[in-house]
Structure 1
Amino acid sequence: MRGAANAEDCEARNLAVKRFEDEGDEVLLRFLLQLVQALKFEPYHDSALARFLLCRSLKSKRLGHFLFWHLRSEIAISEHHRARFAVLLEAYLHGCGREMCAELKKQCQVVDNLQLVGNKMQSLLCEQRDIPCDGNSRLQDELRKITLPSNFRMPYDPCVRAGKLKLEKSKVMPSKKKPLWLEFENADPTAARPVKMIFKNGDDLRQDMIILQMFNIMDDLWDAASLDLSLFPYGCLSTGSNMGIIEVVDQATTIASIQKERGAILSALRSGTIKDWLDECCPLPEENIAARMRFLSSLAGYSVATYVLGICDRHNDNIMITENGNVFHIDFGHILGNVKKFMGINRDQHFVLTPDFLNIMGVGVERKTTEYFRKFESLCTDAYRELQKHGGLFVSLFSMMLLAGLPEVTEVDLSYLCESLQPTREGEPEHILEIIKHCKNNNWKVQINFLFHNLVGVGVKPQASTSTSDQQKTSS
Structure 2
Amino acid sequence: MSEKKYFTKFVRSVDWNATKEAKQAVELIEEWETIDVADALELLPPEFETEEIRAYAVRILERADDEELQYYLLQLVQALRFERSDMSRLELFLIERALSNIEIASFLCWYVAVERHDPTFGRQYNNIYKMLENSMIKFVDREDGDDDEAQLCQSLSLQDKLVVELHSVPKNVRDVCGSGQKKIEKLRELLPGIFTEVTKIKTFFVC
> Normalising to structure 2: TM-score of the pair?
0.57
1:16 counterpart letter in structure 2: A
Task: Give, in whole Å, the separation in 2 of the partners of 1:68 and 1:23.
Answer: 19
Q: Is the 8 A contact 2:165 2:194 kept in 1?
A: yes
Aligned pairs for 1:226-375 (under 5 A) are none
User: How many matched pairs?
Assistant: 153
Name which of 122, 129, 132 aligns with 1:92: 132
1:18 aligns with 59
Change (3 A) 1:43 1:30: same
Task: Give, in whole Å, the separation in 2 of the partners of 1:135 and 1:78.
Answer: 26
Q: Deviations over 1:251-287 (max 9, x none)?
A: xxxxxxxxxxxxxxxxxxxxxxxxxxxxxxxxxxxxx
- Percent of aligned positions that are identical: 25
2:174 aligns with 122
Change (3 A) 1:50 1:114: closer
Deviates more, 1:6-15 or 1:57-66: 6-15
1:111 aligns with 163
1:152 aligns with 2:152: no
Q: Is the 8 A contact 1:58 1:92 kept in 2?
A: no
| SS of structure 1 residue aligned to 2:117 | helix
1:74 aligns with 2:126: no
Structure 1: gaps spanning 5 or more residues: 161-476
Task: Give, in whole Å, the separation in 2 of the partners of 1:142 and 1:99.
Answer: 26
Change (3 A) 1:75 1:126: farther
1:152 counterpart letter in structure 2: I
Name which of 136, 141, 146 aligns with 2:189: 141
Change (3 A) 1:68 1:146: closer
Change (3 A) 1:49 1:153: same
| Shift, 1:4, TM fit | 8.2
Change (3 A) 1:78 1:69: farther
1:93 counterpart letter in structure 2: E
| SS of structure 1 residue aligned to 2:116 | helix
| Shift, 1:2, TM fit | 4.0
Task: Give, in whole Å, the separation in 2 of the partners of 1:30 and 1:112.
Answer: 26
Q: Is the 8 A contact 2:176 2:186 kept in 1?
A: no
Task: Give, in whole Å, the separation in 2 of the partners of 1:4 and 1:106.
Answer: 50
Change (3 A) 1:114 1:40: closer
Structure 2: gaps spanning 5 or more residues: 1-17, 27-49, 141-149
1:28 aligns with 2:69: yes
Structure number, greater radius of gyration:
1
Name which of 63, 71, 86 aligns with 1:45: 86
Considering fraction of residues, name the structure with more helix.
Answer: 2
Considering fraction of residues, name the structure with more strand.
Answer: 1
2:42 aligns with none
1:151 counterpart letter in structure 2: K
Q: Is the 8 A contact 2:74 2:111 kept in 1?
A: yes
| Shift, 1:127, TM fit | 5.9
